[in-house]
Chain A
Amino acid sequence: MSEMNNRTPVLKVRDLGIDFGGLTAVNELNMTVYDREIYGLIGPNGAGKTTVFNMLTKVYTPTRGTIELCGVNTEKMNTVDVNKLGAARTFQNIRLFMKLSVLDNVKTGMHNKITYSPLEAVLRTKKYYAQEKEVDEKARELLKIFDLQDSADLIAGNLPYGAQRRLEIARALATEPKLLLLDEPAAGMNPQETAELMDVIRFVRDHFGIAILLIEHDMKLVMGICERITVLNYGMKLAEGTPEEIQADPQVVKAYLGE
């Protein structure tokens, strides 16, 4: 932990828990993600990983515990506030704006970076033209990072699966987050695409200087790019540490392979 001390935490989770009816889905979760860190959240199916994401982004309201994002307690916030504060996410079951163009999907991510009013849009003021030009350029730059520049004018729903996953990351980045949450970014990708994705994730961290928290089942990806990992099992933290520590942990091996 010592080398982490000079880094500032982006996300601090303390004793986080949620119940659905009488069922406890996540409990007593403690986790800290530091600036510019790539952090992995893994665990068997149904361990509660996506539920953690949903609590972090306030899609679900936690029953217990606190979430501190960029030093601010998010208790009274909703999904929109959390994004404005600096967390953006992707979804396990891709949630793009399927009828919008690829370019417009990224532009929607810049919603809160644009300051002209609806009236100014209707009147087509100078401010409108200037900001639209800026947004267009920025969005195209982002598309380039994800190798989507040639698909800018296609309808998002017509993109192949892998490209849709990349577009979702581009859209999340357009909100200029400090913490990027990726929910199974490599799901459905072939080994070649996964390898490329690993490079892109590292590039995004370095280029934008942000922290990335990711859920993933592809162990090659997780062990390859994550600096630290938390393992969830039945909604509880089973282990935490570097990839080496996790791979050596007998409890983790047991949870994954059974007895």
Chain B
Amino acid sequence: MAFLSYLINGLGLGSVYAIIALGYTMVYGIAKMLNFAHGDIIMIGAYAAFFALNAFHLPLLVAVLFSVAVCTVLGVLVERLAYKPLRQATSLSVLITAIGVSYFLQNSAQLLWSSATKVFPSVISGGALNLGGVSVSYLTLITVLVCIVVMTCLTLFINRTKTGSAMRACSEDKGAATLMGINVNRIISITFAIGSGLAAIAAVLLCATYPSVYPTLGSMPGIKAFTAAVFGGIGSVPGAFLGGLLLGVIEILAKAYISTQLSDAIVFTVLIIVLLIKPTGLLGRKISEKV
């Protein structure tokens, strides 16, 4: 029974990772860049939700929408100002720029709101549901549900809408997509908007579980979610979902059964083993070079 409840907690944490990983993977799939500032968008989302709830006393749903709006605008703005001029640059230049953006966001947050930890208000009541002897907190339940809804909507959007198919085209071949009349810049903006919006949702779920808000809040979940995205095969949307959930479960089980201190080491070891067996992640596509 203990195992089942660990598993469910793992799925809860994994859902948060999955939502963040979706942002990483979409940006990578379309813009072919590792956006290391993604974790800091989560942090800004957390502050936005915190102020909406604490200072403006908005209802939860409105606060979430406010946070999503802030992050979406921020994500698009960052892309326009910092990444768009670097479309032709080497991937290393883009990586360093993303790191610069990350520093910028973290230090702005520190200046604006100080480095002191703020306590995120309790938004989802602490009750639990009893499912055949295993108690599942409402929070975990909601987190998993949100993740499933997000994943479903995103899959439908990508596969069923015109914009979605344009996105798929861009991820295959930007040059050809341009020739087909697709506005690649617009598609990249939309991708950043969606990824950042998802980061805001992840931020609220994360803070509901770990209720502290501080400027470097996004770093570790960012790295973990990035790992999850690679785990599942970076660029693949179902891969990010699967990778996120697995990572969460592995982390919680490692903490429960092996060692809390070593859980990070175990998570990353599993990642390395997976990549050695499947060099492009669980659901990633094989890359081959024509000779």
Contact = CB atoms under 8 A, between A and B. Distances in A.
Interface in B277-291: 290-291
Contacts of B291: 50, 54, 59, 91
Interface residues of B, number: 2
Contacts of B290: 93
A50 B290 CA distance: 11
A78 to B, nearest CB: 14
A54 B290 CA distance: 11
Which secondary structure dominates chain B's binding surface?
A: loop
B196 to A, nearest CB: 37
Nearest to A91: B291
A91 B291 CA distance: 8
Contacts of A50: 291
A91 B290 CA distance: 11
Contacts of A93: 290
A25 to B, nearest CB: 13
Interface in B250-291: 290-291
B289 to A, nearest CB: 10
A50 B291 CA distance: 8
Interface in A53-80: 54, 59
Nearest to A51: B291
Contacts of A91: 291
Nearest to A60: B291
A59 B290 CA distance: 10
Interface in A29-59: 50, 54, 59
B90 to A, nearest CB: 13
Nearest to A50: B291
A188 to B, nearest CB: 18
Interface in A2-25: none
Contacts of A54: 291
A99 to B, nearest CB: 13
B118 to A, nearest CB: 50
B113 to A, nearest CB: 47
Contacts of A59: 291
A59 B289 CA distance: 11
Nearest to A95: B291
A54 B288 CA distance: 14
A59 B291 CA distance: 8
Nearest to B289: A59
B44 to A, nearest CB: 40
A102 to B, nearest CB: 23
Interface string A79-100: 0000000000001010000000
Nearest to B290: A93
A82 to B, nearest CB: 14
A93 B290 CA distance: 10
Interface of A: 50, 54, 59, 91, 93
5 contacts: A50-B291, A54-B291, A59-B291, A91-B291, A93-B290
Closest 5 CB pairs of A and B: A59-B291, A54-B291, A91-B291, A50-B291, A93-B290
